[in-house]
Amino acid sequence: MRELRPVGIYATGSYVPERVLTNADLEKMVDTSDEWIVTRTGIRERRLASADQASSDLAYEAAVKALTKANISAQELDMIIVATVTPDMMFPSTACLLQDRLGASKAAALDVSAACTGFIYGIATASQFIANGLYRYVLVVGVETLSKITDYTDRNTCVLFGDGAGAALLGPVPQGSGFQAFELGAEGSGGPLLSLPAGGSRIPASTDSVANRLHYISMSGSEVFKFAVRVMNSSTEAVLEKAGVSREELDLLVPHQANLRIIDAAIKRFGLSEEKVVVNLDRYGNMSSASIPVALDEALEAGRVKEGDHVVLVGFGGGLTWGATLLKWTFQRA
Ligand code: UT7
């Protein structure tokens, strides 16, 4: 058996649409207030795709930035993985649409469906192909246009979500660096707590399904909240333990951006100072699979990651699913 080679992230890129939806805008649409949204979630505004922007359009912008920063051409890509619950259409996959748009002609392409954990599932999958030597460069994109499946008459959900895309280019790195541990999990029994009921083979699109508003996100907020706090803590702990890294040695936590109160629970649990945690939900809301890669890209751009830093990425969401990874960050390549 071949020895596994270390894998890391060479570069990231992100894109959010121009249109801003503020809490003040939402006050005019549903019975809510800026005060409720800020104190219960931490969100102040979010970005919305335009009518003619689909997920692959956002993914393309983020992908081009990641490839440019990595100085790797689309033709060199071996594989493209897109994590999304808002694909352009049921099929072809958004990864195939992106592959064509980028001109990544030798890349295999597939979508991953793990909701807000999608980016973590995506990089976990991508890293296996590189580690075993089958592929060298894999592009992973987390992208969502949640505004297209959000019911803007439902105050329980419409204040939470936003649109965006984040991309990461993965490749081989020197021994001792890159991904040190992964933790992935699912609790399928909790699926109904967060779902988009219609449009698949269980409830195909019909005039009834549209009239009953079944093509929108449905969520039991407080149940998902309890689950989120539990698995964010347990999966972060799991990767620290697997990698043999103590809480004190953790340099940066990049959590899924669902609710500031969920992130605060982790800050408390791990005794982290604020500069060790990346938060951008105040500006973008919950972008599902795009939240983590956009937050990571912004942290890198702001110079918050140094050579040798221990960085944890952790996500949770629909499925129900969760996932975390710990990287010993390197800017070097192998
Ligand atoms: O990314 C995938 C994972 N998703 C998550 O992690 C989301 C997790 N859940 C949450 O972040 C929170 O549960 C929410 C932000 C969704 C809700 O916060 P909460 O503190 O759990 O509130 P709640 O659902 O228990 O609702 C409390 C009250 C209710 O009123 P009553 O029944 O007590 O009279 C809601 O109707 O707040 C009401 N409410 C609102 N009021 C004003 C719910 N949404 C709103 C709103 N504006 N937008």
Summarised one tens digit per residue, pLDDT across range 127-179 is: 999 999 999 999 999 999 999 999 999 999 999 999 999 999 999 999 999 99
The count of other CB atoms within 10 Å of the CB of residue 253 is: 23
Calculate how far, in angstroms, residue 67's C-alpha sits from the geometric centre of ligand 1.
39
Q: Whose C-alpha lies nearest to ligand 1, atom 27?
A: 222
Whether 1 shows a pLDDT value over 90: the answer reads: no
Map residue 289 onto helix, strand or coil: helix
Query: What is the domain-level CATH number for residue 78?
Result: 3.40.47.10
Q: Is-contact 150 158, C-beta < 8 A?
A: yes
132 and 108 share one domain: yes
Contact 193, 220 (CB under 8 A): yes
> Do 101 and 20 reside in the same domain of the chain?
yes
pLDDT band at 2 (very low <50, low <70, confident <90, very high): low
Cβ-contact 254, 299 below 8 angstroms: yes
Asked if the model's pLDDT at residue 7 lies above 90, the reply is: yes
Is the whole-model pTM more than 0.75?
Answer: yes
Residue 333 lies in a domain: no
Return the best residue to mutate from 222, 232, 282 for the ligand 1 pocket (most ligand atoms within 8 A of CB): 222
Quick one: pLDDT at residue 271? Answer: 92
CA nearest to 332, candidates 312, 307, 311, 310: 307
Check: CB of residue 50 under 8 Å from CB of residue 19: yes
Residue 45, domain extent: 7-175
> How far is C-alpha 172 from the chain's CA centre?
22
Residue that has been written with the tokens 């246009």 in this structure: 145
Kindly state whether residues 184 and 122 are assigned to the same domain: no
- Residues touching ligand 1 (Cβ under 6 Å) are 32, 36-37, 40-41, 116, 155-156, 159, 221-222, 224-225, 228, 258-259, 262, 286, 288, 317
**What pLDDT score was predicted for residue 3?**
82
Using one digit for the tens of pLDDT, what is the confidence trace for 176-218? Answer: 999 999 999 999 999 999 999 999 999 999 999 999 999 999 9
Ligand 1 geometric centre to CA of 268 (Å): 22
In a shared domain, residues 32 and 90: yes
**Do the bridges between strand 19-22 and strand 7-15 make them parallel or antiparallel, or are there none, so unpaired?**
unpaired
Nearest to 236 by CA among 228, 7, 225: 228
Q: Tokens for 260?
A: 């500031």
When pLDDT is averaged across residues 68-95 and rounded to a whole number, the result is 98
Mean pLDDT of 240-246: 98
Cβ pair 208, 295 in contact under 8 A: no
* Structural domain includes residue 22: yes
> Are both 32 and 150 inside the same structural domain?
yes
Residue 313 has pLDDT above 90, yes or no: yes
Radius of gyration of the chain (CA): 19
Average pLDDT over the chain, rounded to whole?
97
The C-alpha angle 263, 265, 267, rounded to 5 degrees, equals: 70
Strand-pairing partners, residue 109, are 80
What the block records as the tokens of 218 is: 């449905």
Predicted confidence (pLDDT) at residue 90 exceeds the cutoff of 70? yes
From the alpha carbon of 159, which atom of ligand 1 is closest? 48
Question: Which of 121, 147, 175 finishes a domain?
Answer: 175
140 alpha carbon to ligand 1 midpoint, in Å? 32
3-state secondary structure of 56: helix
Q: Which of 148, 175, 202 is the last residue of a domain?
A: 175
By alpha-carbon position, which residue is closest to atom 35 of ligand 1? 156
State the DSSP code for 240.
H
What is the structure's pLDDT at 124? 98
Residue 316 has what pLDDT? 98
Q: Which of 330, 1, 14 is nearest to 170 (CA)?
A: 330
Distance 222 CA to ligand 1 centre (A): 7
**What confidence score (pLDDT) does residue 226 get?**
97
- Across the range 85-109, mean pLDDT stands at 98
Residues taking part in catalysis:
116, 256, 286
Which residue, by CA, sits nearest to atom 30 of ligand 1? 156
Q: Are residues 193 and 168 in the same domain?
A: no
Cα of 50 vs centre of ligand 1, distance in Å, is 27
Cα separation, 188 vs 185, in Å, equals 10
Mutate which of 26, 151, 225 for ligand 1? The one with the most ligand atoms within 8 Å of its CB, which is 225
> Does 322 lie in the same domain as 222?
yes
**Domain count along the chain:** 2
Examine residue 66 and state whether it is found in any structural domain, yes or no. yes
Tell me which residue has its CA closest to atom 42 in ligand 1.
Answer: 32
pLDDT of residue 236: 97
- Residue 291 CA: which ligand 1 atom is closest? 1
Residue 43 lies in a domain: yes
Residues 207 and 323 in one domain: yes
